[in-house]
Structure 1
């Protein structure tokens, strides 16, 4: 009986796998997996292991001298690459503007790429200006379209109730045309009357009885490119039209034909094509994909009543829109870019499609962190007045990372820190846990949002983009940027090594989302997850499993077809990806082909967990017979009941039916990571059998214990990504469990490298303790203002440590920049002890020197640095450079009425998109609050 699963699945798998091979051909990744290095060493520094940033080219007001100088500054700060995004410009600089894709603009692009190459940096390029894709090359026929439906009546006695002319006045502002007219009458076959409507909207038709007519107009949405650069203004592209996308790409083919730029990747922002839900050949495409003519069911599609037929039609409509976006835009674009040796980097979220499949069709899937999260880390600042009413959800990022994992693409990027907080008020200490949350979700190639090209001659604060963190060279935190970037580079070097190491695959029931009876087009946006994601059993189950110590990825219907089984494990991407169990959460709709594939995987040795029996099939055509097929397929399983679940053996695998997913994991023999019981979060990478654990403590308490690990090693190496220190950990095996001793304070992270080979020349890790001896560093202190403005205050002597804003000097209150705190202290060293400099509270970032040796940067909570190697017996000199935020200087500019924001289009707005004005802000406390002490850990 079960042989039919294998036969059916084989034919379907062959077709889908062939499609995937075609889609994955070409240039799929920049770098291969990092090889295992010598034990106790960090993976090598690469372009992609360094952080990258979006680079706003304001007005394309570019020159080679500034491009070169800025690229050198970016490289020195630790950036590995830039993503060019041309946008609107600053007023008063119009004479410098370059037209997008003009010979002069392309000359600047080629200079940028050549200079970046010389600095070992990479360049990506958005394919257009601003966002979404569009511009002057997009004529009305290529532009984004929407479907406007209008209802009419016809009777034998009175004829047509009124001419069929578009009555939506908003739609008439742009090009439109009558696309389809259908007539419906009870017990009659629907009639297509499109050819019988003249230009005046009159109907040439004679019929008996009463009829309801539905007229479908194809109308431009009218959306223009948002934040376009000079030469980039125009309509937004119709992403659903194969011909429109082809013509759009051919424009770049022509523009770059003589000298295609040496960029790494083309980039596409989140799908913000508002109101686009139609294209010229939609109905024909629908007929080919779904097997019936949607035009014959327009009244049911239009109805606002919640009924089964309407939901099924809407599901088919949404799946067809997905197919058009996937095939006509994402796939065609990636194939085009790959044919030129370029990658594609894409944000699928916001689109009306299957996010997993859209992400899987590009080379570098990209998520987005938008807004500010709450963390219970003691001392972290989160002022409700300075944040947007949006809570980022890291589970949303797993759509991008899961797609990359299952297709074997190593890099997963994120647009990071979009609207993290109000302008000029966001510190590294707030950004760090937000980024770590993304790392834990599988992101390993972060992009700042962003840095703005700003000529050297433009005064503080330089040119700025209205929605960015604005970490440009004018930022008072810029001299400390390298410290934060070094942390990111070390973490990403680990997370780009080896392969993903998650136990579970969680099936995403997209058809349950598409069956929503409300509305028509359904955009899966970051801002809408409270509606389409959070209430679902899929989300709740995923969150619960991760919180209980299971690593997982998401899998779509199409990606399931690409799975194979070997030794009971589920494999994808030619074996680069492995997982142990496929989990199907509670759902309503599942295609018969998906259930066939799942049961075939089980027959081949896989373990599959169902939370409940699939009860229905999606879509409209023949749904009754297909539902019967689904039921009969399930009924072929023979379950044996246990106290916790029902289990069916199938070939060499098994199907477990249990509402309790934790009990199901036990039955499947899947161990969890018990380290989460300590309040830790983690993500693992597999390096040919060795493991990297990246651990983060976002809880309110320190973790000081031996933590049990699911995987074992001959030894464990601890790696501190903030300072780069490495040491051999204390480890033990107790009651069959391998455990590693760690001490991790709230806000800190750590990497554990489990070694399978012998240990050579690795120093022992020096542990901190929860109750160290404290040696206060009391001063007096010399405070010197080094760099910044609007003016440099005079140096002062402080009897005790304090922030400079407590001095109540007007010049000091306005200051943004860097200031130096200096003093001496006496210390008698204890052999073998660990010494940690505890800076207490820092506003906002610190750079430390002891005895003329640079120790490093302290940019996050807790502000501590291991200084064991820098201290000496007797007198020690310490210098602490503190950088504050830009807020106080911006406040001063606005209070003095000094113009600094003067841009075309949106100009500059606050976090609520209102007029920006800092003149009413209070002074932001700045400097070193302390207390400063030396922690002695014997």
Structure 2
């Protein structure tokens, strides 16, 4: 049964935004405000903040970046923590206060992550380190010196030495060896001609092999790969062995672990089947390489084998122990390796008589008497990871120990609290923790004690496992390693994130977090329980750097932990080219609104200390240049107003999400992108998607593309723009184990989390044998309570067999978000719809209602990349609100009726004024000034004012619509003053604002580039129309690069990269229509 209603699509006018936003400043977007290299001025601060206020922002996160000494040519005087710096901070607070802008401060200098000069090595992030000494037993070893492992000294890590630097012992072990441990040095190394060693390492772009030859057979049980840089191909070798150097047999195909971008802290250890041979060959081919993703970052790039060394050993080692021990964010995915285990004969028992003893050390000397035999002395301790807040200036220091509340408080008091003690600091409303860029730690304050308290046994006897030594049994050492990661996860959440939140809340400050993955080995969702405002990030025109998982982490983390606001650091560009416009940004914005974001933070507004250099300072060319000296920044008010309107609606109520997807029990973990769900929900995705995903992952031929200019990468990287409305009318959240176990039925028979979030379906993609008894029991309890459990490939196209119809049915290349508002007088359902095609579309949308037997059908027209809100309420007629300004009436059998059928004549000639070069001319439209013969105009970037006129009043004929509304016996000689005229700009380059009779009426920044003017504001007779157009900086920077700058003062520290020297169209590129 369909239920139809008459409806109107309303224009997004400034009046509409103002009335909507009167009660919700939270809906305004914010921006990151970077002070670069200590180059800060009061004039620049004032101009920046006034610009933010005028463009409609609600506030900014102030973050100083880099130090004065790094770029002395900028003559910065406000080095972080200096008196000049605090003078500038005080002024910015005072200015923000006077303008009604709020602010947030990062937890340390720079943007990654939590370091400070006050942090001592013992208070910094720690890692387990060790040294090996091989000795013969049979006598008391008194004063046997064991080399001190790696230590931290003079600002850097130093290799094993006899003494010195920061290092703390944990324990020593003597391990009986059946044979002397060896790293085998090949007698000869040969490689095929595709391999080059000219750069000091093995480099190949085509299939290649490297062969090790030995004088006599050697027995190998493990290998260590030392890549050059973050190189995935060196982890994809086929290991073969031969007795004669001619006939080779396969030993193992290496499979890379899942890994993030900050992945060079450790080498890669692979266990091998025990193999005795004289020849070992390592073969490589680029074919078979995955296309790359956030959790396989190095696979994004052109497939090159870059290899420093391969080390073969006779010692059994735990496969991929570096990631399993928490030293780096990695996840073993090699199914064969998981089924293989180190032979029991090679596994080390705990007791002395069977092979191991904990040593007694005095000043680094082992004092034990050992039985006869060969012994491996393992001295284990911890030192600083050496990580710093690398993007800081004089506030740079070691990264704080994430397991020490006392060290975290010290960091808070050494940076953030200083800002709270400044005048006007009441403008500071947020503490921000940016994206995690400081790697991992697997030791820290009271780690052993915390481990024992949480896991129920002593870690110390098992410590050699962290050095890759297999002990007791495969199940045991794997469990110990998992327990280490679980403890790391517990501590980073409770000791780091929770401590910061508690400190902030004591000051009535809210907290925002960005993603912890894929750099720190933890649950990527769990830390959001301690964030008031979870935050993700997404990148513009930067496929290698985009963060779809980050956004999904933040969205799911917010939903499962009852956080209403989902922030996003938006539109970062790895290489900006100054051609960015609001119209270019809108499709990506809308996709992320549909994903669940409802609070945008532009990234980035770089402070420009100079009033005479434009476009000025940037984050060294990274980021969206959303700052006062961007040409179209004043006209961005229309774009910001649109964002404000959207966020106002999308912050109301709670999200409607039918499906929860379990992330599993592995640590580290994070949300699941839609491609990961295709195997478990093939029917819902459909046969076409299943086939296309198989093709994408096969990555045959390793197709590459270039985006942005100069960045070549896999063409098959996951891009969420290809996954709009992926589940065809169903939304999903990822749910971690913590949230799953908290799922209860206290509030609703459907089952709600403490966050009041309903889910009706639980998808469990993991095999049953990977789930703990605790999780299995919880899933069965949910099944008994009526939750639909999908734990095998689901072949149906939807979930209607369970009474769960699609929430909304949309055409392809559209997406949506749905919020439900429960009020005392009834329920309101807010749907956001986005057209992700670059063309106008007339669409039919069908919405699920509360009764499920009734579908609400809505027809509407959307422009290219257009969007709309459909609001259903049981107490009032449906509303549809669109940014487009189309006013449409649905009538039975009539389709869509445009209510502006009559056209006003506009004078042919337009006066044109170029602001920054003070030039005037007269033109007819269309006019593209980039084609001008005058080079000052041709290369001009900035504002140009077009002026003309049109007639209104008695001389204007009545519109066709008004004629239909007037009774036949009456006559009407002039149009009514009710309603609006619509000024259609057509195609423009790039944004515009429209004034009539000197009054501004709106901005044209996206299709269909229209502005509305109330008829009552028009004069009887001639009316002046002015259209102020701004293009991007692209053309002026191109001209400046060619020595043809259109005006003086053009300067930026951002490199300018374009594929073509062709100028971009600029101006009014169509004739202007005024309809009524």
TM-score range with shorter-chain normalisation? Answer: 0.7 to 0.9
Equivalent residue, structure 1, for 2:580: 426
Deviates more, 1:96-105 or 1:327-336: 96-105
After TM superposition, give the deviation of residue 208 of structure 1 in Å: 3.8
1:319 maps to which of 470, 477, 486: 486
Q: Distance in 2 between matches of 1:785 and 1:62?
A: 33
- Answer yes or no: is the 8 Å Cα contact 1:370–1:417 preserved in 2: yes
Report the alpha carbon displacement of residue 63 of structure 1 after superposing the two structures with TM.
5.6
Q: Secondary structure at the match of 2:1001?
A: strand
1:492 matched to which residue of 2? 647
Relative to structure 1, is the Cα distance of residues 828 and 399 closer, same or farther in structure 2, using a 3 angstrom cutoff? farther
| TM-score of the pair, normalised by structure 1 | 0.75
Q: Structure 1 residues 40 and 143, CA, compared in 2 at 3 Å: closer, same or farther?
A: closer
> Once the 2 structures are TM-superposed, how far is the Cα of residue 319 of structure 1 from its aligned partner?
2.2
Instruction: Quote how far apart the aligned CAs of 1:114 are.
Output: 4.3
State the shift of 1:488 in Å. 0.7
Aligned residues: 791
| Residue 572 of structure 1, CA deviation | 3.0
Name the structure 1 match of 2:106: 126
- CA shift for structure 1 position 777: 8.0
Q: Per-residue displacement from partner, 1:2-43 (whole Å, max 9, x unpaired)?
A: xxxxxxxxxxxxxxxxxxxxxxxxxxxxxxxxxxxx999635
- Residue 547 of structure 2 corresponds to residue 547 of structure 1: no
User: SS state of the match for residue 578, structure 1?
Assistant: coil
1:254-333 matches, within 5 Å, as: 255=418, 261-262=425-426, 263-274=428-439, 276-297=441-462, 301-303=466-468, 311-333=478-500
Are 1:594 and 2:775 matched, yes or no? yes
1:747 to 835, 850, 865: 865
Aligned-residue Cα RMSD (Å) equals: 4.2
CA drift at 1:453? 2.3
State the structure with bigger RCO (CA 8 A, min sep 6), 1 or 2. Answer: 2
- 2:887 corresponds to 1:766: yes
How far apart are the structure 1 equivalents of 2:605 and 2:1034?
A: 17
Within-5 A mapping of 1:812-823: 812-823=937-948
For residues 743 and 187 of structure 1, what CA distance do their matches in structure 2 show? 72
Task: Look up the match of 1:179.
Answer: 170
Deviation at 1:410, TM superposition (A): 1.9
- Runs (5+) with no aligned partner, structure 1: 1-37, 373-386, 515-521, 613-658, 714-732, 910-915
- Would the alpha carbon gap of residues 853 and 421 (structure 1) be closer, same or farther in structure 2, given more than 3 Å must change? farther
Contact 2:140 2:368 in 1 (8 A): no
In the alignment, what sits opposite 1:932? Answer: 1071
- The yes-or-no answer on 1:787 pairing with 2:915 is yes
Distance 1:257 1:798 in 2: 56
Q: Secondary structure at the match of 2:1032?
A: coil
Aligned partner of 2:659 in structure 1 is 504
Alpha carbons 1:850, 1:876 under 8 Å: kept: yes
Measure how far apart 1:352 and its partner are.
2.1
Q: Identify the residue that residue 995 of structure 2 maps to in structure 1.
A: 849
Structural mapping, 1:448-467, within 5 Å: 448-455=602-609, 457-466=611-620, 467=622
The residue correspondences of 1:397-546 to structure 2 (distance < 5 A) are 397-419=551-573, 422-455=576-609, 457-466=611-620, 467-511=622-666, 514=667, 534=676, 546=726
Q: Which of residues 244, 254, 260 is equivalent to 2:407?
A: 244
Distance 1:443 1:111, change over 3 A: same
Helix, strand or coil: the match of 1:795? strand
Larger displacement relative to structure 2 (83-92 or 927-936) = 927-936
- Relative to structure 1, the CA distance from residue 441 to residue 920 in structure 2 (aligned partners, 3 Å threshold; closer, same or farther) is closer
In 2 relative to 1, CA 609–936 (structure 1 residues): closer, same or farther, beyond 3 Å?
farther
Shift of 1:304: 10
Q: Which one has a larger percent strand, Structure 1 or Structure 2?
A: 2
1:166 aligns with 2:149: yes
Q: 1:697 aligns with which of 813, 816, 835?
A: 835
Match of 1:756 among 863, 874, 877: 874
Q: Which residue of 1 aligns with 2:744?
A: 564
Check 1:68–1:347 CA distance in 2 against 1; reply closer, same or farther (3 A cut). Answer: same
Contact 1:678 1:703 in 2 (8 A): no
Asked if 1:890 corresponds to 2:1037, the answer is yes
1:141 to 1:284, Cα distance in 2 relative to 1, 3 A = same
Give the one of 676, 679, 697 matched to 2:810: 676
Distance 1:538 1:361, change over 3 A: farther
Q: 1:368, CA displacement in angstroms?
A: 0.5
State how far apart, in whole Å, the 1-side matches of 2:360 and 2:124 are.
27
Structure 1 residues 448 and 829: CA distance shift in structure 2, 3 A: farther
Kindly report which structure 2 residues correspond to 1:719-758, keeping only aligned pairs within 5 A, or say none. 736-758=854-876
Task: Give the CA deviation at 1:477.
Answer: 1.3
2:512 alignment partner in structure 1: 345
Q: C-alpha distance in 2, partners of 1:181/1:936? A: 85
For residues 375-415 of structure 1, the C-alpha deviation after alignment (integer angstroms, 9 at most, x for no partner) is xxxxxxxxxxxx5534553x641321222223332211111
How far is 1:219 from its partner?
Answer: 2.8
8 Å contact kept, 2:612–2:1049 = no
1:829–1:873 CA contact under 8 A, matched in 2: no
Taking a change above 3 Å as real, the CA distance of residues 68 and 868 of structure 1, as seen in their structure-2 partners, is closer
How many angstroms does 1:280 deviate by?
Answer: 4.9
Q: The residue matched to 2:811 in structure 1 has which SS?
A: helix
State the match for 2:1027 in structure 1. 880
Give how far 1:248 is off.
Answer: 2.0
Greater mean alpha carbon deviation, residues 768-777 or residues 736-745: 768-777
Cα pair 1:707 1:741 within 8 Å, conserved: yes
User: 1: CA distance between counterparts of 2:76 and 2:727?
Assistant: 53
Do the aligned residues in 2 keep the contact of 1:680 with 1:698 (CA within 8 Å)?
yes
Q: Which structure: larger Rg?
A: 2
Deviations 1:574-613 (A, max 9, x none): 64x333333323445323323333333444x34131323x
Moved more, 502-511 or 894-903: 894-903
Q: Which residue pairs with 1:620 in the alignment?
A: none
Give, in whole Å, the separation in 2 of the partners of 1:551 and 1:210.
Answer: 61
CA contact (8 A) 2:560 2:755 kept: no
Q: Deviations over 1:223-260 (max 9, x none)?
A: 3322213x312222222333422332343587468569
Matched-pair contact (CA < 8 Å) for 1:568–1:580: no
From 681, 686, 690, the counterpart of 2:820: 686
Q: Deviations over 1:64-107 (max 9, x none)?
A: 56534432331111010010101235656887633544566445
- Separation in 2, partners of 1:902, 1:295: 59
> In 1, Cα distance between the equivalents of 2:659 and 2:857?
23
The whole-number CA distance in structure 2 between the counterparts of 1:853 and 1:97 is 43
Task: For residue 141 of structure 1, give the secondary structure of its aligned residue in structure 2.
Answer: helix
Aligned mates of 1:784, 1:933 — CA distance in 2: 15
Which is further off, 756-765 or 543-552?
756-765
In structure 2, the CA distance between the partners of 1:330 and 1:167, relative to structure 1 (3 Å rule), is closer
Contact 1:803 1:925 in 2 (8 A): no
Aligned partner of 1:360 in structure 2 is: 529
Task: Please give the TM-score of this superposition, normalised by the length of structure 2.
Answer: 0.66
**Equivalents in 2 of 1:197, 1:264: separation in Å?**
52
How far the C-alpha of 1:806 sits from its partner, in A, is 1.0
CA contact (8 A) 1:388 1:419 kept: no
For residues 450-489 of structure 1, the C-alpha deviation after alignment (integer angstroms, 9 at most, x for no partner) is 1122235352123222222122211111121211111111
Equivalent of residue 81 in structure 1, options 59, 68, 71: 59
